[in-house]
Structure 1
Amino acid sequence: MTSVTFKGSPVTLVGNEVKVGDTAPNFTVLANDLSEVTLNDSEGHVRLISVVPSIDTGVCDAQTRRFNEEAASLPGVKILTISCDLPFAQARWCAAAGIENVQVLSDHRDLSFGEAFGVVMKELRLLARSIFVVDSTGKITYKEIVNEVTNHPNYTAAIEAAKQAK
Structure 2
Amino acid sequence: MRHGVPEFFRTLSDQYEIVIFTREPSTYAMPIIDKMDSEGYIWYRLYRDFTRHEKGEYYKDLTNLNRDLRRVILLDTRADASKTHPENVVVAPKWDGKSMDFWLLDLIPFLQTLASTRTTDVRPILTSYQGTDIPSAFAENQKRLEAEMELRRAQQAQQAQLQASKPQLTPPAFGGAGGSVNPWRR
Q: State the TM-score bracket (shorter-chain normalisation).
A: 0.3 to 0.5
Report the TM-score when normalising by structure 2.
Answer: 0.33
Name the structure with the higher strand share.
1
Report the TM-score when normalising by structure 1.
Answer: 0.36
**Greater C-alpha Rg:** 2
Name the structure with the higher helix share.
2
